[in-house]
Amino acid sequence: MEKYQRIDFRDQISKNKRKSFFLILIVVLVIIALGYVISLAFDPVWFWFIMIFSIIFSISYTLISYYNSHKISIKSVGAKKADRSKYKDFYNIVEGLTLASGLPMPKLYVMPSNQINAFASGRDPKHAVICVTEGALAKLDRRELEGVLAHELGHIGNYDIRYMTLVAVMVGMVAIISEMFLRSLWLKGGGDNDNNKLGIILLIIGILLAILAPIVVQLVQLAISRKHEYSADATAVKFTRYPQGLIGALKKIKQDYSYETSEKKVSKAIAPLFFASPLKNLTSTHPPIEKRIEALERM
């Protein structure tokens, strides 16, 4: 009798996409609730000023980051373009996976680190890059490396970068709206609501929402990131038809990875891109390795 009920990778991908959509809906509802309370507690002119400014700022910032995401991420980790003559297997594996998946060939980079890790970036499959650490190339066998690279191609094929950018826009909007609302309290003069009990209650609710909303949407963003890791694992199985390769890589990472002695500091901004979380904290961008292995063993 099998330990786990076997699942199909297609079902896993569809399930995680539905959950991610639901989580994004939560972020939208938080924005609406925050805006509604602010509009009741303050003059509507303040609300529209905050909304217009935050939308313009968030979208402008995100678009610049979005169109240059691959350049920013590669530069931030000090990666270099992979030499085809030196990393022949790296190129051969990715070329084989692109043929199997129908995706265009991404640009390949190598990151100086002894840890086993990798990440993909780029706004769409035509502008994608895949970066692996020197440790991954040295410590993983061919099937394990193929599983990791298939996972990264899964992110590219699933348009995860575009999806997470959308979430980043909404998270940024909530943070900016909340910050401007709290700062505007110092500038707000006397008004009809100052001596009105309902106005005071709404103001208190607005303050609480402004403080809690950024925390809530940040947790939602982390949850979405974890769901996309499961989807990318399932997509990797779709491309390779061999879950054991990815399972082997995850087991090696579990045995080999040392967060405390990490010699390569990674920005929190690009941490969600990595195959395995390069950071150790309570709000991890990745699901536990044990959970990922368990899901793969059921495929």
Residues assigned a catalytic role: 152
Got the DSSP string for 151-216?
A: HHHHHHHTTHHHHHHHHHHHHHHHHHHHHHHHHHHHH----GGGG-HHHHHHHHHHHHHHHHHHHH
